[in-house]
Amino acid sequence: MTEFDVVVLGGGLSGSRAALRAAELGGKVGLVEKGTIGRKGFLRRNILLTECLSNNDSVEWVSLLERQEKLANEYCENLKSKLAQADIVLLEGEGRLAGPNEISVQGKEKTHSVKGKSLILACGSEPSFPSTLPREENVIISIDEIYQLKKIPEKVLLVGAGKWGAEAALGFQKLGCKVFLCVDSVEILPEMDSEFNLKVEAQLKSRKIKFCLIKKSFHFLKMGMI
């Protein structure tokens, strides 16, 4: 069994940075990731937040996707190179906790275990779909699937706010979409204070983004708002 000072579970943006920092501090580091290092996080963060967004023309959208895919590939290669230079061991496969200091890694051909004096869980989260809006390809999707859209829709309903919801709303609006933001809390960013939330709401309203607090998504559907 391979042993490390630090084992990081999850090779997204946060996990990669944590691994690099641990290596900088002199630790022997193992990084477990089942996909491409940093790719999902890069696309999620950049696909709608770029200055080249100007309209909702389908040809421009395809060009944007191609550029972002190229940038994502370059970013991932650079990140992988940084990890190698820092002597971080990349463990490819799906990782699961197997004990207090042990992670089981399911690779393509075999399963092996690694131990760490410290474990960092940076495996992120998966979106949940309410029963009123089950997943439907190209119609009801998660924020991680935006880059799979073949064209930009005229109207978009975003269920759930927070940082990602607010940023996605602004990104879709910049593309020319009519945006509805459905929030099941009293504030768009519950973790921030009321004054900050008022400023965020004002910014969204100035962009003609419509939102409703403490409402369920099916209310919008029944009312024919989208």
Longest Cα–Cα distance in the chain: 59
160 in any annotated domain: yes
Same domain, 9 and 99: yes
Average pLDDT over residues 15-36: 95
Q: What local confidence, expressed as pLDDT, does residue 218 receive?
A: 47
Strand order across the beta sheet in which 155-159 lies: 155-159, 178-183, 210-213
pLDDT at residue 214, as a whole number: 59
Structural domain includes residue 134: no
Q: Examine the domain organization and report whether 11 and 108 are in the same domain.
A: yes
Is residue 137 in some structural domain?
no
Q: Is 49 helix (H, G, I), strand (E, B) or coil?
A: coil
Q: What is the mean pLDDT of residues 204-225?
A: 66
Structural domain harbouring 184: 143-222
- Which residue among 88, 121, 154 closes a domain? 121
Residues 104 and 158 in one domain: no
112 and 149 assigned to the same domain = no
d(CA 201, CA 115): 46
Q: List the alpha helices (DSSP H) in the chain.
A: 13-24, 39-46, 58-85, 162-174, 194-206, 217-222
The Cα–Cα gap between 8 and 1 comes to 16
* Domain count within the chain: 2
Hunting for tokens 């998660």 — which residue is that?
142
Whether 155 shows a pLDDT value over 60: the answer reads yes
Do 26 and 91 sit in the same domain of this protein? yes
Cα separation, 89 vs 4, in Å, equals: 9
Same domain, residue pair 73 and 109? yes
- CATH code, domain with 51: 3.50.50.60
Cα(6)–Cα(12) distance, rounded to whole angstroms?
16
62, pLDDT greater than 50 = yes
Helix ranges (DSSP H) in 110-193: 162-174
The answer to whether residue 16 is domain-embedded is yes
Which residues lie across from 107 on neighbouring strands? Answer: none
Report pLDDT digits (tens) over 91-141: 999 999 988 899 999 988 889 899 999 999 998 777 777 777 778 887 888
pLDDT digits 0-9 by tens, 35-55: 899 998 888 878 876 555 554
d(CA 68, CA 42): 9
